Amino acid sequence: MKEEFKEIIKSFFRSMYFYTFVFAIVFIISKVIINSLNLEYMQYIYKGATIAVVIGILLGIIQSIIKSETNGRRTLIIVTTLLIVIIVAPIVAFFIAFQPPEHIVEKGNKKYVAYVYSWHHTRVDYYEYMNFFVRGITKRIEENYKNGGDVLDKEHKGLYMPNSTYYYNVEGKITNNNFYTAKNSTNIENNNEEKDNKNIEQQKNQQENMESIIPTGDDSILYQKDNIIIRVGYLGNILNQRSVVTIYKSTDGGKTFTNMKEAGITINEGAELTFIDENTGFINDPGIVGTAGDNRRFLVSSDGGATFKKANIIHPDSIEEKNLLVNGVPYIVDGKLKLEVYTLNHSKNPKRTYYIFTSTDNGLSWSLEKKKQQ
């Protein structure tokens, strides 16, 4: 009996079960250590470890089948394996599939690891990027969006503007430094005073009820040069998929801001805003989501955002399609102001044809330069 027990122990140490067990224990210990250092593994590390454990178990099962001396024992192992796969596989697949999308992004010349939690509304949590393997464990930025979906994927990147943004210190507490209101454009500072969580939450709720609040995070900056800063501010929702925003301008490096549009401007979900200088700005509003582009607009401002009017995109005779649709916002190449425009024709393949338009009057009118190579 003693010899048989020793043989079982030796067999276990020679099996894949043993190595899988050792790997799992080492991984758990390493997680505890890095967590104690206020670090956390990147998402792919967890996925890779889970897959490695599953593969190790399966290899252990296959090894047991090969070593089995009787058909009855082999049949028992096979049946047990099938039951394990039927029960465990969906759990593992669910764990992997429902992990929030992970993105490495830059905000304010600093790298973050962002996770997108989406259902009816979307929340994006940002953590400090450390290296390829680990990130910070404390959330530093939180963005809330009205729409659902992965707002940071390649298809939607830059198309959506958060309804609200909150910033956290290294202790995970909300900080309210340098917020601005539309009513008086006065800088609200808390001078980094330590406050308990209750007071911080009360201040946060009070600020949310103001006419408009703009955090100083770089994500709200549309243009910045020398002491000139232009920001976008969120004023609230009016109807489904529609929001009201305003433009703020500072000429003293961000100490005070002036609200350029007291009444605000209504935009649809997915609108993009940009300024190429302190006076010239653009809004590419795709219209109501899920429709044929209802309320679609491409607007230009020549007075720092005080007023916006419809830009004139000149339709050349060489383009047979009726509608010219703006893709993104204007950009400057070699001193020229350019804009990507496309047409949509379902009888063609590809359905979209892209063109480059240029402007010589700061975006008031646009003329065809060339067809873009697909």
Beta bridge partners of 367: 358
- Report the candidate in 105, 104, 117 with the shortest Cα–Cα distance to residue 150: 117
Q: What angle do CA 355, 361, 363 make, to 5 degrees?
A: 50
DSSP 6-60: HHHHHHHHTSHHHHHHHHHHHHHHHHHHHHHTTEEE-HHHHHHHHHHHHHHHHHH
Alpha-carbon gap, residue 113 to 19, rounded angstroms: 32
User: Which residue type sits at 316?
Assistant: P
**pLDDT at position 339:** 95
**pLDDT at position 122:** 85
Measured between its terminal Cα atoms, the distance across the chain in Å is 75
* Entry pTM: 0.47
**pLDDT at position 156:** 62
**pLDDT at position 304:** 92
User: Which residue type sits at 346?
Assistant: H
Helix 16-36 and helix 43-67, axial crossing angle in degrees, nearest 10: 160
**pLDDT at position 363:** 95
- How many angstroms separate the most distant Cα atoms in the chain? 94
Alpha-carbon gap, residue 339 to 350, rounded angstroms: 20
**pLDDT at position 180:** 32
**Are residues 163 and 243 in contact, defined by beta-carbon separation less than 8 angstroms?**
yes
- Report the candidate in 176, 195, 201, 117 with the shortest Cα–Cα distance to residue 151: 117
Residues whose CB is less than 8 angstroms from the CB of residue 130 and which lie 6 or more positions away in sequence, other chains included:
39, 136
DSSP 52-108: HHHHHHHHHHHHHHHH--SHHHHHHHHHHHHHHHHHHHHHHHHHHHTSPPEEEEEET
Alpha-carbon gap, residue 24 to 47, rounded angstroms: 13
**pLDDT at position 30:** 95
Buried b (16+ CB within 10 A) or exposed e, 148-161: eebbbeeeeeeebb
**pLDDT at position 167:** 79
Q: What DSSP state is assigned to residue 218? A: G
Residue 40: both structure tokens together: 């956390």
- Report the candidate in 103, 63, 106, 69 with the shortest Cα–Cα distance to residue 81: 63
Rg, C-alpha atoms of the chain: 28
**Running along the chain, 374 residues long, what does each successive block of 10 average in pLDDT?**
52 71 93 94 89 84 73 70 72 70 83 86 90 92 76 68 75 54 34 40 40 53 90 72 83 84 79 93 83 77 92 94 91 93 88 94 95 81
**pLDDT at position 63:** 76
Residues whose CB is less than 8 angstroms from the CB of residue 322 and which lie 6 or more positions away in sequence, other chains included:
315
